[in-house]
Amino acid sequence: MTKNVGSADRVLRIIFGSTLLILAIVNPQVPYSYGGLVGVLLLGTGLFGWCGLYRLLSYSTLTKTGA
């Protein structure tokens, strides 16, 4: 798996994913539990730096460096 999630994108995914996961744990009713699932996905893609949807769309938020 080649990384395709840039650093700013990763930070936002980790923040939003953690927030949704915490809300789902604190308030485990049905709407929030779905948010918890989304939170787990966002947190995982943020921590690993790879997004399957980006892969399917041939998209990347990594910056290109070099000459």
Output the 3-class SS for the chain: CCCCCCHHHHHHHHHHHHHHHHHHHHCCCHHHHHHHHHHHHHHHHHHHCCCHHHHHCCCCCCCCCCC
Q: Global pTM?
A: 0.85
- The reported pLDDT for the residue numbered 48 is 95
- The reported pLDDT for the residue numbered 65 is 62
Residue ranges per domain, the chain?
Answer: 7-51
Per-residue pLDDT of the chain (67 residues; tens, 9 = 90+): 889 999 999 999 999 999 999 999 998 887 778 899 999 999 999 999 999 999 999 999 998 764 4
- The reported pLDDT for the residue numbered 63 is 81
- The reported pLDDT for the residue numbered 33 is 83
